[in-house]
Chains A and B, each alone.
Chain A
Amino acid sequence: MNAETRVQPCPVPRLVEVRQNVLKQNDVVARALRERFRTAGVLAVSLVSSPGSGKTAFLEKILTFLHSRFNVAALVGDLATENDAARLARSQAPVKQIITGTVCHLEATMVQNALDGWDLNQLDFLFIENVGNLVCPSSYDLGEALRFVLLSVTEGEDKPLKYPTIFNSADVAIITKSDLAAAVEFDEEAARRNIQAIRPGMEVFKLSSKTGEGLTGFLEFLERRHSHSGAPASN
């Protein structure tokens, strides 16, 4: 052993405190979006669910109904296709597709970019349909005022227990395809119990986009939320 190695202290890593939210960048953009929505008087609502639970059919109905009295628009996330936007365009509301490529969820910057060219002051409602996925979207704030989680009667009553994180992150639960409930022996009471176990007090709607059952109550809820958001009505 030579003298040099003896005096060389063993390098010890330094512990540096950082305390930073990993999704800080997303959260900053989301907060700015929320503020933009608020000042423009837009009620921004996001929709999450597993693939095939009826988000697009639901949105098509809602847009069609609201379109006659309000200014509505929608952004729809999809991995690869523009099919949803084409379907929703039938409602005559402005619709933009966000193709996420391999990304399994929407992020706040995608929403921000998609809004380019739209005057938010002209809108009353903005719907943001997330990619069909009950896992990844839960971590990303999109600046929405309300997050709706959809659960179709064909999926089983225990969906909330299987995906507690996203159900807990949502503000409203919507049970869709109610016209099929009897055929699949959907246990509504169990579904409601499971939803309440994950998010006590969460408002729950049950409806059918096909028959229109339950839509009136839901539309009234939306209008109420819009007027409560203090947003000025547009012309």
Chain B
Amino acid sequence: MHELSIAMSIVEMAQEEAERRGALQIQAVHLRLGQLSGVVKQALLSSYEMACAATLLEGSQLLIEEVPVVAFCPKCELPQLIASIQWFCCPECGTPTPTVLHGKELEVVALEMME
């Protein structure tokens, strides 16, 4: 259960950004969360609320965009959407796909702030 420390990092980062821009309040944080990030969405959402208490983010929303796993298929020579993270292979031709291109993201993309 490391979601609380992740949530605290998000809040800290957003808070710094808000202070830098002189914002009074943050209303929403937009986050990209990869399926292979090692972070559980539900656990992160509940931790986020706790982490926001008594900060500029109190009452704000965490808007999560889930990023599916995309791996490079060496046979098709194309990025392919992996159908299951229990089986890293190309959905088109079945070739094993060791090279993961997307799905590890844990990234704050934008903040909605009141100035």
CA distance A138 to B38 in the complex (A): 6
**B108 contacts across to A, CB distance below 8 A:** 18-20, 22
Q: Are A13 and B112 within 8 A (Cβ)?
A: yes
Decide if B13 is an interface residue (CB 8 Å cutoff): yes
**A103 contacts across to B, CB distance below 8 A:** 2, 5
The prevalent SS among residues of A at the interface is mixed
Most buried by B among A11, A14, A22: A22
**A20 contacts across to B, CB distance below 8 A:** 13, 107-108
CA distance A21 to B106 in the complex (A): 6
**B21 contacts across to A, CB distance below 8 A:** 16
What sequence of 0s and 1s flags, for each residue 35-56 of chain B, a beta carbon within 8 Å of any chain A beta carbon? Answer: 0111100000000000000000
**A105 contacts across to B, CB distance below 8 A:** 2
Choose, from A78-86, A160-168, A225-233, the stretch at the interface.
A160-168
Q: Are A18 and B113 within 8 A (Cβ)?
A: no
Q: Are A22 and B107 within 8 A (Cβ)?
A: yes
What sequence of 0s and 1s flags, for each residue 130-166 of chain A, a beta carbon within 8 Å of any chain B beta carbon? Answer: 0000011011000000000000000000000100111
Decide if B93 is an interface residue (CB 8 Å cutoff): no
Decide if B89 is an interface residue (CB 8 Å cutoff): yes
Choose, from A68-76, A111-119, A195-203, the stretch at the interface.
A195-203
Distance (whole angstroms) from the CB of A99 to the closest CB of chain B: 16
Q: Are A23 and B106 within 8 A (Cβ)?
A: yes
**B14 contacts across to A, CB distance below 8 A:** 18
Distance (whole angstroms) from the CB of A159 to the closest CB of chain B: 12
What sequence of 0s and 1s flags, for each residue 1-20 of chain B, a beta carbon within 8 Å of any chain A beta carbon? Answer: 11001100110011001000
CA distance A16 to B31 in the complex (A): 13
Distance (whole angstroms) from the CB of B1 to the closest CB of chain A: 6
CA distance A104 to B43 in the complex (A): 15
CA distance A49 to B67 in the complex (A): 26
Decide if A25 is an interface residue (CB 8 Å cutoff): yes
Distance (whole angstroms) from the CB of A28 to the closest CB of chain B: 13
Q: Are B113 and A196 within 8 A (Cβ)?
A: no
Q: Are B111 and A18 within 8 A (Cβ)?
A: yes
**A168 contacts across to B, CB distance below 8 A:** 36, 85, 88, 100
Distance (whole angstroms) from the CB of B8 to the closest CB of chain A: 10
Q: Are A199 and B88 within 8 A (Cβ)?
A: yes
**B111 contacts across to A, CB distance below 8 A:** 15-16, 18
Distance (whole angstroms) from the CB of B36 to the closest CB of chain A: 5
**A104 contacts across to B, CB distance below 8 A:** 1-2
Decide if B77 is an interface residue (CB 8 Å cutoff): no
CA distance A141 to B115 in the complex (A): 36
**B86 contacts across to A, CB distance below 8 A:** 161, 164, 197-198
CA distance A27 to B60 in the complex (A): 27
Q: Are A139 and B106 within 8 A (Cβ)?
A: yes
Q: Are B87 and A22 within 8 A (Cβ)?
A: no
CA distance A25 to B10 in the complex (A): 11
Beyond the given pairs A20-B13, A22-B10, A23-B6, 19 more chain A to chain B contacts, judged by CB atoms under 8 angstroms and listed by A's residue number, are: A14-B113, A15-B110, A15-B111, A15-B112, A19-B110, A22-B6, A22-B31, A22-B106, A22-B107, A23-B9, A23-B106, A25-B9, A135-B1, A136-B38, A139-B38, A164-B36, A166-B38, A168-B85, A201-B98
By Cβ-Cβ distance, the 5 closest A-B pairs, closest first, are A200-B96, A138-B38, A139-B38, A136-B2, A13-B112
